[in-house]
Amino acid sequence: MLDTTEKRIVAACEALMDDTLDLTRDLVRGYSVLGQELGALDTMEAWFERLGLPATRVPLEAPGFAEHPHRAPTEWPCAGRYNLVSQLNVGAPGPHLVFNGHLDVVPAEPTEMWTRPPWEPWEEDGWLYGRGAGDMKAGIAAMVMAVEAVRRAGVAIDFPLTLQTVIEEECTGNGALACLHQGYRGDFVLIPEPFGAQIYSGQVGVLWFRMRLDGVPAHVLDTTAGRNAIETLQQYLPALKALEAEINALPRPTPYASHPHPFNLSIGRVEGGNWASSVPAHAVLEGRVGFPPGMTPDAAMQRVRDAIAARHAELDDATPPPRVSFHGFRSEGHLVDLDTPGIRLLSACHEALVGEPPVHYLSTCTTDLRAFHVSGGINGTCYGPVAERIHGVDERVEIASIHHVLTTYALFLHRWGQQARQEEPTP
């Protein structure tokens, strides 16, 4: 049941849907792939100003961050790159709530496969299309507009609240981690990742790796005079698939024990050679592999090294061993503590709006929840819109689900504030 105040909040959310979609579209127009996030950050900063919300730029470079034990190594510059954070009621009494969302997106190429250019949002049959529309700019719009809806309904937000819009979620998790490192913390976090209106209950570990093979270049007039690195690289693929099967066969923590195949391998990039009429002298493979909660990134790295070394020994072809390196994600998996006040409150808000409790969702990927849980010791979950084809062609987000998340988050804000005020000590 909703009381009179909550009904006003729901009505304010309905009135703000056009603005929520406008913000989503504006963010999609900023094609914020790695290293090109400034346009989306500028858009977000302008919307914070428009809504009367303070904005602070939180750099990815900060004293001591390079030595942070959970920071992922990168091969691209961090200088001048930053997250954008809005803090309300700093120092006020009560538990501190954090909303977190990532502004960065994965590349959309080849863009000619899209119905329309991926940075030009469009709508059709109740869906909003564009790169990042689902993952996760609509969620960011919903979490920001939830704050505006509560205010428009005449309800005070007088507890500590932080809105984090971060970068590098798609490759390292260093954006959210940089916020935590610089003191932008809290007691509970909600992340509107596009897994739908369900409680996110856990995520796997994720590791990025690279394997480089060297061959012997030669003219094609006599290919036997060289050694084709691209052809050799293909002989390592069965070993990597075997590694995936091996990891999935390991004992798993509950609830992953009943999942059919939670730890996935992706060969995401292959590059080699330099001339069509030359035997290629090099080949590079980049991949991602999942691993279970409880396994460390170091242990996962060693499994990758061992699998490649064992395959090299099997081939016994007089080639030099592949060079294996790691960059980007080296993220631990974890399980969410579902028996906490924040998650019970979120479940109650969901049930008040839809008439039944939310289901739980166990993930086979990673999110910025890892930074909060593993590094910050902060509980939280993901609860967001419904999206399809994320990381694919014609990515889209269901407009009705944006409205639902906006309304659920606004109701959550209101009830969080009520609980915070009830917990204040009597003078």
Instruction: Say what the pTM is.
Output: 0.96
Angstrom distances, CA of residue 286 to CA of 64, 139, 270: 29, 30, 6
Do both 161 and 240 map to the same domain?
no
Do both 23 and 130 map to the same domain?
yes
Distance separating the N- and C-terminal Cα atoms of the chain:
32
Distance of alpha carbon 41 from alpha carbon 60, whole angstroms: 14
Judge whether 264 and 244 are in contact, CB under 8 Å.
yes
pLDDT for 426 equals 43
Do both 144 and 266 map to the same domain?
no
Q: Give pLDDT tens digits for 223-279.
A: 888 899 999 999 999 999 999 999 999 999 999 999 999 999 999 999 999 999 999
The residue out of 314, 331, 348 marking a domain boundary is 331
Do both 259 and 195 map to the same domain?
no
Judge whether 3 and 70 are in contact, CB under 8 Å.
no
Q: Among residues of the chain, what percentage have pLDDT more than 90?
A: 95
The residue out of 331, 357, 372 marking a domain boundary is 331
For residue 279, give the CATH number of its domain. Answer: 3.30.70.360
Do both 384 and 244 map to the same domain?
no
DSSP 165-200: EES-TTTT-HHHHHHHHTT---SEEEE--SB-SSEE
Do both 263 and 357 map to the same domain?
no
pLDDT for 424 equals 62
Q: Give pLDDT tens digits for 150-177.
A: 999 999 999 999 999 999 999 999 999 9
Judge whether 272 and 215 are in contact, CB under 8 Å.
no
Q: Please, where are the H alpha helices in 225-296? A: 229-234, 237-248
Do both 192 and 215 map to the same domain?
no
Q: Give pLDDT tens digits for 21-80.
A: 999 999 999 999 999 999 999 999 999 999 999 999 999 999 999 999 999 999 999 999
Instruction: Indicate the number of domains in the chain.
Output: 2
Q: Give pLDDT tens digits for 69-102.
A: 999 999 999 999 999 999 999 999 999 999 999 9
Judge whether 272 and 229 are in contact, CB under 8 Å.
yes
Q: Among residues of the chain, what percentage have pLDDT more than 70?
A: 99
Q: In what order do the strands lie in the sheet with 360-362?
A: 334-335, 199-203, 360-362
Do both 61 and 109 map to the same domain?
yes
Do both 368 and 227 map to the same domain?
no
Domain residues for the domain of 12 are 4-203+334-423
